[in-house]
């Protein structure tokens, strides 16, 4: 009989190997799933994990890796602080939308002015601010009235989606758009566009900010008092209070920070890869980033790698849909499995499996 036994110290080895193990199990179970759908599992797995980087369309799909990983990374880094501190912002998708709307609105307000040195930075600030304010709503409600930030932040995603629809049909609609919904295409306006910085790499300003965020997060968590307090508050809230951490302020900072980064991710997306404010602008980065944050062990470098892996499954999934005719839902299931198995094998970090002797008296 198998039995779980608590380790005296969390295992260092398993901390790093559980994500890999989770990926491996996901491939196996995913393969079985694809086989049940009548596809060759090996081909499907190769199409998802190998072809985007080394297949015949790699020159197209490789830059997409950074384009997709950038926002995931940026959002997940912000979320990781709150998740470590026990502040559960589940509504990054909403903050992402609001950041995009605010940033785009600033850009559109200045149209057709051409002062990019002024307009683009203002848009970035508006993106940060929009996401931050949206996230501070659940933060403030929790601090002031003790509401549950998980529910409030999640519900605000749907509010944000309605707002997005209203904006793309009304206030921000392109006046020259022949009545079609959606704003002017920001990526075609010199003063507000967020294009590739180095052609053929997918590297745009959002990716740059994402890498900067990874570095700052790493330093903050390992060296700065703020990171120490975040970790302390997550592990032992009472010890944090004794140490002198103000729990309410920490909630607000964590919510604000994660919202700001999600908002910025939205702005960089709307001004670049997506181009315009439209009804279906958001594609779920805010939710996928939650998986990325946990897959990356809430560690900045882990998040960097996890974002790239997630981006890979996105792109590989698209290729698999095109070439193998796999249904989109199967790909989403595949991504969900990754988090599921990660949480399941996570238990090995703090517990070891021992073979219990038979229950003889």
Partner 1 sequence: MRETLLELDGLTKAYPGVVANSDVSFQIGKGEVHALLGENGAGKSTLVKTIYGLVKPDSGTMTLEGKPFAPAEPRSARASGIAMVFQHFSLFDALDVAENIALGMENPPAMGDLADRIREVSETYGLPLDPARIVGDLSAGERQRVEIIRCLLQDPKLLIMDEPTSVLTPQEVEILFETLRLLSSEGTAILYISHKLEEIRALCESATILRLGKVVGTCDPRETSAREMAEMMVGSTLHTPEREAKDPGEVVLSIKSLSAPAPHRFGTALKDISIDVRAGEVLGIGGVAGNGQDELVAALSGEMRTGAGMVSLDGQSIGHLMPNARRALGLCAAPEERNGHAAAPDMSLTENATLTGTVRMGLTKNGFVQWHKARSFAEDVIKAFDVRTPGPENAARSLSGGNLQKFVIGREIMQKPRVFVVNQPTWGVDASAAAAIRQALLDLAADGAAVVVISQDLDELMEISDRFAALNGGALSAPRPAQGLTVEEIGLMLGGAHDMEVAHVEA
Other residues' Cβ atoms within 10 Å of the Cβ of residue 276:
23
Which residue number, 298 or 326, has a Cβ lying nearer to partner 1? 298
Residue 19: left (phi > 0), alpha (psi -120 to 50), or beta?
alpha
Alpha-carbon gap, residue 164 to 162, rounded angstroms: 5
Supply 209's token pair: 């900010």
Per-residue tokens: 192: 């507000």
Minimum Å gap between C-beta 301 and partner 1 is 19
| Exposure string for 169-201, b = 16+ CB within 10 A, e = fewer | eeebbbeeeeeebbbbbbbebebbbbebeeeee
The span of 96-104, 218-226, 256-264, 335-343 binding partner 1 (CB under 8 A) equals: 218-226
| Distance from chain centroid for Cα 78 | 9
Number of residues forming the site for partner 1 (CB under 8 A):
23
User: Please, which residues have CB within 8 angstroms of residue 273's CB and are 6 or more apart in sequence?
Assistant: 67, 187, 204
Single residue of 42, 109, 225, 344 touching partner 1 by CB under 8 A: 225
Under the binding rule (CB under 8 A), the answer on residue 8 touching partner 1 is: yes
Which of 60, 158, 180, 242 binds partner 1 (CB under 8 A)? It is 242
Taking CB under 8 A as the binding criterion, the range among 65-73, 241-249, 250-258, 333-341 that sits at the site for partner 1 is 241-249
233, 86 contact by CB (below 8 A): yes
Choose which of 20, 42, 239, 353 interacts with partner 1 (CB under 8 A).
Answer: 239
With a CB cutoff of 8 Å and minimum separation 6, the contacts of 108 are: 172, 183, 184, 186, 192
Q: How far is the CB of 221 from partner 1 (least distance, A)?
A: 11
Distance of CA 118 to the CA centre of its chain: 28
Choose one: 35-43, 63-71, 124-132, 231-239; the region binding partner 1 (CB under 8 A).
231-239
Can you give the length of the chain in residues? 361
* DSSP 8-class letter at 358: P
Nearer to partner 1, 85 or 307 (CB): 85
The single residue among 112, 144, 238, 355 that binds partner 1, judged by CB under 8 A, is 238
List beta partners, residue 352: 5
Which helix (H) or strand (E) segment holds residue 5: the answer is strand 2-6
User: Applying CB under 8 A, does 166 fall inside the site for partner 1?
Assistant: no
Collapsing DSSP to helix, strand or coil, 352 comes out as: strand
Q: Does 243 bind partner 1 (CB under 8 A)?
A: yes
244 lies in the binding site for partner 1 (CB under 8 A): yes
Question: Is 218 one of the binding residues for partner 1 (CB under 8 A)?
Answer: no
Binding partner 1 (rule: CB under 8 A), the pick from 118, 197, 223, 301 is 223
Identify which of residues 239 and 322 has a Cβ nearer to partner 1 in the complex. Answer: 239
Q: According to the binding rule CB under 8 A, does residue 344 interact with partner 1? A: no
Residue 347 interacts with partner 1 (CB under 8 A): yes or no: no
Site residues for partner 1, 107-146, by CB under 8 A, read: none
Nearest CA-CA partner of 289 in 13, 49, 87, 96: 96
Pick one of 152, 232, 291, 307: the residue that binds partner 1 (CB under 8 A): 232
Contact flag: residue 3 with partner 1 (CB under 8 A): no
Q: Is 264 in contact with 134 (CB distance < 8 Å)?
A: no
Candidates 4-12, 38-46, 58-66, 138-146; binding stretch for partner 1 (CB under 8 A):
4-12
Residue number, 23 or 230, with CB nearest to partner 1: 230
The nearest distance, CB 231 to partner 1, in angstroms, is 8
Provide φ and ψ at 6, rounded to 5°. -70, 135
Contacting positions for partner 1 (CB under 8 A): 5, 8-10, 223-226, 228, 231-232, 235-236, 238-244, 246, 359, 361
């Amino acid at each position: 009989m198998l039995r779980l036994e608590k380790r005296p110290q969390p295992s260092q080895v398993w901390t790093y190997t559980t994500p890999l193990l989770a990926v491996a199990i996901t491939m196996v179970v995913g393969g079985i799933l694809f086989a049940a759908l009548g596809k060759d599992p090996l081909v499907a797995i190769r199409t998802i994990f190998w072809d985007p980087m080394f297949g015949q369309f790699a020159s197209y799909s490789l830059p997409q890796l950074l384009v997709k990983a950038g926002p995931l990374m940026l959002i997940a880094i912000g979320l990781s602080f709150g998740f470590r501190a026990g502040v559960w912002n589940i509504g990054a998708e909403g903050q992402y939308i609001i950041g995009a709307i605010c940033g785009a609105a600033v850009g559109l307000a200045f149209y057709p002015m051409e002062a990019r040195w002024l307009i683009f930075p203002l848009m970035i600030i508006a993106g940060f601010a929009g996401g931050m304010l949206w996230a501070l709503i659940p933060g403030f409600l929790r601090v002031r009235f003790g509401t549950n930030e998980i529910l409030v932040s999640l519900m605000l995603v749907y509010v944000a989606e309605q707002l997005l629809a209203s904006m793309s049909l009304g206030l921000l609609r392109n006046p020259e758009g022949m009545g079609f919904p959606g704003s002017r295409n920001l990526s075609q306006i010199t003063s507000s566009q967020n294009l590739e910085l180095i052609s053929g790499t997918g590297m745009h300003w959002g990716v740059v900010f994402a890498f900067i965020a990874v570095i700052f997060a790493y330093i903050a968590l390992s060296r700065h008092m703020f990171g120490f307090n975040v970790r302390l508050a997550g592990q032992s809230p009472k010890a944090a209070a004794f140490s002198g951490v103000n729990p309410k302020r920490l909630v607000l900072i964590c919510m604000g920070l994660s919202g700001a980064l999600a908002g910025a991710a939205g702005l960089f997306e709307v001004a670049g890869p997506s181009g315009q404010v439209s009804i279906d602008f958001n594609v779920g980065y805010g939710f996928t980033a939650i998986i990325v944050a946990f897959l990356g062990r809430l560690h900045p470098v882990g998040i960097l790698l996890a974002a790239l892996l997630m981006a890979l499954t996105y792109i590989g999934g698209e290729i698999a849909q095109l070439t193998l005719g796999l249904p989109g839902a199967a790909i989403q299931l595949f991504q969900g499995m990754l988090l599921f198995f990660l949480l399941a094998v996570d238990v090995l970090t703090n517990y070891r499996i021992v073979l219990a002797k038979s229950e003889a008296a």
